[in-house]
Structures are given as structure tokens and as C-alpha cells.
Structure 1
Amino acid sequence: MRAWIPVAAAVLLVACKPAAEPASPAAPAEPAAPAANATQAVPEPIAQTHGGAAAPTPAAAGEADDHSEVNQRIGQILGDATRYETAILAFQQAVAQKDAATVAAMIDFPFKTTIEGKPATVKDAPGFITQYGRIVTPEMADVIVRQRYSELFVNAKGVMFGNGEAWLNGICVDKACNSFNVRVVALQPTQ
């Protein structure tokens, strides 16, 4: 489970994050990131599963949702907000459509997760696709799809959906981190 990333892994993620763009002088100061064990005030997920019904439309696509504040935080903390926004919306859409191949293409492998309550490591995209329904449960999918963009939580570990069911972050392509890809770095059930 990556919500409880060991300190060394958290330091590695922070060390590999893309350099943040400088904030404009008019930008408000970013509040300090909460301690690792602090709880976040996030909206409660809607208690609806996908059952046999059609998947819900991502909240960002179906409702007016101001992205500017979250994008400003992403830009200040993580880097290129446009790249994050594109990845976040594509991730929500792929989960809404139950498109395991597209979600797998967004995963940072090897991928540590929880499958049916047990820690598991998925080595590659074919393995993820095979396990998709056991990793992205209907409850988790509901949280991801219904997450309002304006209510995403952002810190140096990335962008969090819900209560930590999913995290996306920049993964450096080169040693100097001159280039990065936005990837899904955690998918985990929360209690």
C-alpha cells in the first residue's frame, strides 16, 4: 500500500519530482503540507457501485468545476499543471469506461498495491490488465470517477483522489529530471 510509503520511498518520490515553476508574485502562499499521518478533510465518496449499471460520467466532465486553484497548486509544488490536468482527466475517463489497457499505460511499474486485502506487486501492464477488476474495485472506481477536480489534494507526493484511493505524480524520465511523465503511483482501498 503506497499510502504508507516508507520514509525512504517518500524521499525518493520527492527527490524525483519535477522542479516546480516559480510562483507569480500575486500567487497566494501554499499552506504547509500535512504530516504523513494527518487526516485530510475530503468529501465523502458517493455510496454507489457500478454493479451492472453504466459507469458514471467523471465529475470533471459532467459539471462546472474550476480547475484554476488546483492547477496553481500543482504548478507551485509539482511542475507543469497542464500535463497533470491532462493525465488526471484521462485517468478518470479511462476508469469510468473500465478501460484497463489505458489505465495500465498510466501506471508506474513495478506497481505495489493491495489485492483482496493482501499486498501485491504487479510487474507489468499485462499483469495489471489481468488483475484490473481486483485492483480497481467498483468502490475505488466510484471514488476516482466522482472526484471533483477542484477538490483534489496536492502535495509533494502528488495528486490524491478521495481519501487516498489513487495518487498520480511525476516520474522522472532522465537523471536530471528535465522531463517527466505523470503516472499513477498508487491505487489502494481505504477503510
Structure 2
Amino acid sequence: MKDEVVEKVISIFNSIHPVSENLKEKIFEGSDVIQIKKKNLLLDIGETSKYIFFIYKGALRSYYLDQEGKDNTSWFLFENELAISVFSFFSQKPSFEALEGLDDCILLRLSFAKLQKLYLEFPEFNYIGRILTEQYYIRSEEKANALRMLSAKERYLQLLERYPEIIQRVSLGHIATYLGITQHTLSRIRAKV
């Protein structure tokens, strides 16, 4: 199983920059494959993120608690994407968000310490990391801009365009909080689309 998972990760990295055999071996040696069940947490609020995850199978969501203690979805993450609490992982401080399985998941896990070691040993991996970080940042900006500038209907259509299968995989309640609307508003939008 681990061979298959690592091969998938390497194919994604290779689409950014060629990965040497030596780097591939170090990624294989330094990572492990874990499985979590639906609704289980990879990271809890207040816990420091020690790992970055690659989603081989399944889906995750990131969420935070608002001032009333209500959970709000920040991100949906699916197969072939990286899952991380950016602030907590890179600062090594407690997380203000949680990572939860939306499905049973198979993940490749790499620790903060091992990632830093790979960056030191393999300059090409710094390039891959920079591109992945840029992509994550762009998505974050797109979401922030959508919340500021798009109507609820436009945000919903944009989400469907990015993840056409999301309605079959994610609860409407989670989708509504991600879009910054109530579930009732989401139902009205869906009835019109």
C-alpha cells in the first residue's frame, strides 16, 4: 500500500519539478501511511500540528469554532491534495482549527522535522514546496475574495465548478458554513440552480 501511495505523491511532485530517485527514497523512508475513520480528527483545536498529510483516498474538512462555539468549515480537501493547518504547522504553535475526516481516509503523513530535513538535503524539494505553498495561498485568497465580492449563489456555483461531486460527499450543513450562509439559504439557492 505504501508504495502505491508514495508513487501517487511523487507523480504530483514530478508535475511541478522532476524528483530524483534519492529524494523519492527519502520521502518513502521518512513518511508513513495512516488510516482514519469518518468523523475522526487528524488535528484538534489547541493541538500543535506536527504533520502534513497527502490525501490518497477520502476527504477532510478544516473547521474552527466561532465566538458562540459553532463550528464553521474553512476548507474541503479531497484526493491528491495536501492537508495541513498552515499556521500551526509552520509556526509550531497550537492550532485554532481542526482537521476532520469526512470519509474513511488513507493518508501519507510526513512530520514537520522530516520535511525540514528534506528541504535542507534537497534544494529541488524547496522549489516543489514553494509552488505547493503558492497554490495553497492562491486558494486562500480566492476564498477570501469570493466571500467579499461574490453573492452566495456565485460562491455556491464556484464551489460546484471546483468540486462537482461535493454534494454527494459533504453534508449541506458543512457546505453552508463554508460558503458563509445558513443551510436554509443554501437550500433556496439549490432550488433555483
Question: How high is the TM-score relative to the length of structure 2?
Answer: 0.29
Question: How high is the TM-score relative to the length of structure 1?
Answer: 0.30
Higher strand share: 2
Name the larger-Rg structure.
2
Kindly indicate whether structure 1 or structure 2 has the higher relative contact order, using CA contacts under 8 Å at least 6 residues apart: 1
